[in-house]
Amino acid sequence: MDSKDRQIIRALQKNGRITNQDLAAEVNLSPSPCLRRLRILEDSGVILGYSVDVDAKAYGLPMTVFIRIRLERHTGDHIKAFEDRIRGLDEVLECHLMTGPADYQLRVVVAGLDHYEDFIRNRIHAIGGIASIDTSIVYGTVKKTAVFPALV
C-alpha cells in the first residue's frame, strides 16, 4: 500500500458516499486509475466494507458504557465460550482483548440505566466464568473519528 492508497482510504473514511469522480479529484488521480485502486483495496481486504455513522441517542440508544471484564479461567474452552457469547450480543459494538488487569473491554450501547442493569444481570452474568466486571458510563464525548492519521 502506498501513500495514494492511504489518501483514498482517508477520503473514504471522511465520506463513504463520495463518488468516484469526486474521490479521484480529491486524491489527484483520474477516475479510472482511482477506481482500479479502490477495487484492489476492496478485493485484498484492506477495505472491509462500508457503513453509516449514526447518532446513537437519536436512534434510541443514548447510553454508551465501557465494560472491563476479567475471566476466572483462561483455558481455551472458557475463552472460546466467552467470546462466542459476546459476539452474539447486539448491544456490544466492540470487544477488545486487553493487557492489564482486565481481559476484555466492551463498548456497549443501551437505552438507559434500567436496560444496562438488565443487560448485565441477564446477558453478561448468564455467560458464566466471569471473575469481575468494571463499568464506566460515558457522559460526554470529546472526540470520535473513524479517520486514520496520515502517515508521513
Q: pLDDT tens digits for 92-126?
A: 999 999 999 999 999 999 999 999 999 999 999 99
> At residue 152, does pLDDT exceed 90?
no
Residue 97 pLDDT: 97
DSSP designation for 132: E
Question: Among 16, 5, 87, which Cα is nearest to 44's?
Answer: 5
Overall average pLDDT of the 127-134 stretch: 96
Residue 6 pLDDT: 97
Report how far apart, in Å, the C-alpha atoms of 50 and of each of 53, 78, 96, 111, 140 are.
Answer: 10, 33, 21, 25, 26
Domains of the chain as residue ranges with CATH: 3-43 (1.10.10.10), 56-137 (3.30.70.920)
Q: pLDDT tens digits for 48-94?
A: 999 999 999 999 999 999 999 999 999 999 999 999 999 999 999 99
Give the confidence band of 24 by pLDDT, cuts at 50, 70, 90. very high
DSSP letters along 41-102, please?
HHHTTSS--------HHHHT--EEEEEEEEES---HHHHHHHHHHHHT-TTEEEEEE-SSS-
Overall average pLDDT of the 114-141 stretch: 97
Residue 53 pLDDT: 93
Overall average pLDDT of the 30-37 stretch: 98
Rounded to 5 degrees, what are φ and ψ at 148?
-65, 155
Residue 144 pLDDT: 94
The whole-model pTM stands at: 0.90
